[in-house]
Every structure is written in structure tokens, then in C-alpha cells.
């Protein structure tokens, strides 16, 4: 990315936030984002017993963004996993994923990547959330915030950022591919049903299929065979591109699963596929030194 383009994607200052009318988030979403629809009875709640868990503030681009982090209460430093939110922000499901990772021995941190654009918890209509908040989040800003979380985690003394991985869901699944391309210091990455292709604009200039051969970090992907937004032929094309480049990545298609099959709080949840995909991701991290 050239310097001029980097500047165009830089984070606004607090003064800019006020002048331009942004709704800056000072904390993560409480509970679940309403735009996600009715809750599933199978919603998983992971206890924080034995963990240090809660919200923190991470300095990034001249502002303090909220993030949720969790890690074992004793020992460390622990291998580090960046958790990238789905389209609904850092709500209870993403916080729970952090606690699940902490129970597995990781320092997990999930920054609220919409903090400068708006509060997803305030929306009941997903189409408005997408157009008014999500579409306005630059890819360059996301990378900067993730980098800032690595710095924050390392400074805590509890995170071993030399053993660094990233995991993301839905919107965050696409961001996993971008971060894997742009941060070669990652040991491994896990993308859950993130779009591989789609519309591009100045804020989102590339799709994963555009740069598959340039991804040096091994990525494990989890995709639903019944996800209309990510056709299986796209997944197969991505796998072929990765294989041609000699990548150690592996993509798995769960034949009967829809989009969002890991999201236990939604009707799209498929327990067996979700558990297998998550286990595969953790096994993949360990196999690659995380």
C-alpha cells in the first residue's frame, strides 16, 4: 500500500470524530447485537472461572478502542490469538470465543473494529448496520487496530506474541485472509466462512481470491456447503490457488452447514460441524507452533 493510500485510511483523531459526527464506541456491545435476530436456545456460555477476562482499552491511531481479552489467571506468557468479530461486532458470542480460547491456554483479544464508525449494538436492522457502519470500516484501519492489539498484548507480559495466530468469523473471516497476507509474522490463521470474493471500493480494494498466491501464513478455512453467499466453487478455486503456491493452508467444506454455523446463539448453528471446525482450528494452531 503506498503512503498516500495509507494516509487516506488512517484513523481519525478524537477531534475529527466529534467534528464529523461519528459515534465513537467506548465499550464493547453489552449482551448480543439485536440485529442478529432471535437467540438460539443452544447459546453457549463459558465461565470466566480460572481466567482473567474483561474489557480493556487499546491505543490505536491516536484513539482508545475497546477490546475484550481473556487469558488463564495463572502462568504465562501464553500463545496469542487475535479474535476478529463477525459482522455484529464484539458482542457476547465473540467474548465467549475469547474465553473458550483462554480455557485452551491462549491469551485471546478481540478489538471492537467498528469503534470509530458506530455502535452495532444500537441496530435492529442488519441492512442499516451494514450500510451505515460496516461498509465504512476501511481494511487499512482494521490492520492497524489488530497490530495495536499485538503491541498491547505483548506489553501486558502475559502474551507471547512470537506465537501469534488470528481467528475470525463471517466479516472477520475475510479480514483473517487480509491480515494473513499483511502480517507474515503470524504463525497460523483460521477463517470461518469469510467472503472470498465480492464488490470492491477504495476502502476495501482487494478480496482474498485476488491475492491467494501471496499468502505465506498457513490458513485453515471453514465453509458451509449450503452458504449461498460463499459458493463452494469459490472455496475450491481458493484452495487451488493456495495449492499452486505451495501453501500449507487447508480449506474444509461442511456439506450440510449454512453460513454462520459456528454462531451458537443463532438458528444457523450446527453443533457437530461447529465443534469439529473449532477443534481443527486449535489443532492447526498447535501444529504450526501456536
CA distance 12 to 22: 10
Which backbone phi and psi does 76 adopt, to 5 degrees? Answer: 105, 175
Q: Look at residues 94, 75, 76, 95 and name the one whose alpha carbon lies nearest to residue 85.
A: 94
* Residue 257 near residue 224, CB atoms below 8 Å: yes
Q: Taking a C-beta distance cutoff of 8 angstroms, is the pair 207, 181 a contact?
A: no
Distance CA 254, CA 37 (A): 23
Q: Which residues carry out catalysis?
A: 170, 227, 259
8 A C-beta contact, residue 197 and residue 207 = yes
User: How far is it, in rounded angstroms, from Cα 239 to Cα 255?
Assistant: 16
> What pairing do the DSSP bridges indicate for beta strands 107-111 and 188-192?
unpaired
Amino acid at each position: 500500500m503506498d503512503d498516500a493510500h495509507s494516509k487516506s485510511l488512517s484513523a481519525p483523531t478524537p477531534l475529527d470524530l466529534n467534528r464529523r459526527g461519528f459515534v465513537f464506541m467506548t465499550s464493547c456491545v453489552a449482551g448480543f447485537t439485536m440485529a442478529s435476530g432471535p437467540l438460539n436456545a443452544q447459546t453457549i456460555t463459558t465461565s470466566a472461572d480460572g481466567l482473567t477476562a474483561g474489557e480493556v482499552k487499546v491505543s490505536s491511531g491516536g484513539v482508545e478502542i475497546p477490546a475484550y481479552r481473556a487469558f488463564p489467571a495463572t502462568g504465562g506468557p501464553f500463545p496469542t490469538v487475535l479474535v476478529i468479530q463477525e459482522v455484529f461486532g464484539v458482542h457476547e458470542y465473540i467474548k465467549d470465543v475469547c474465553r473458550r480460547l483462554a480455557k485452551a491456554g491462549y491469551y485471546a483479544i478481540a478489538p471492537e473494529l467498528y469503534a470509530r464508525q458506530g455502535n452495532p449494538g444500537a441496530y435492529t436492522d442488519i441492512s442499516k448496520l451494514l450500510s451505515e457502519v460496516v461498509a465504512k470500516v476501511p481494511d487499512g484501519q482494521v490492520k492497524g487496530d489488530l497490530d495495536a492489539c499485538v503491541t498491547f498484548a505483548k506489553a501486558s507480559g502475559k502474551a507471547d506474541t512470537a506465537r501469534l495466530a488470528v481467528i475470525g468469523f463471517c466479516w472477520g473471516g475475510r479480514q483473517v485472509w487480509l491480515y494473513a497476507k499483511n502480517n507474515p509474522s503470524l504463525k497460523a490463521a483460521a477463517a470461518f466462512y469469510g467472503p472470498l470474493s465480492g464488490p470492491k471500493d477504495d476502502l476495501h480494494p482487494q478480496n482474498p481470491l485476488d491475492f491467494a498466491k501471496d499468502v505465506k501464513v498457513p490458513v485453515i478455512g471453514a465453509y458451509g456447503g449450503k452458504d449461498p453467499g460463499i459458493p463452494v466453487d469459490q472455496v475450491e478455486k481458493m484452495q487451488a490457488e493456495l495449492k499452486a503456491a505451495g501453501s500449507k493452508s487447508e480449506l474444509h467444506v461442511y456439506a450440510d452447514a449454512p453460513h454462520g454455523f459456528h454462531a451458537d446463539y443463532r438458528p444457523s448453528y450446527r453443533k457437530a460441524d461447529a465443534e469439529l471446525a473449532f477443534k481443527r482450528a486449535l489443532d492447526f494452531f498447535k501444529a504450526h507452533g501456536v
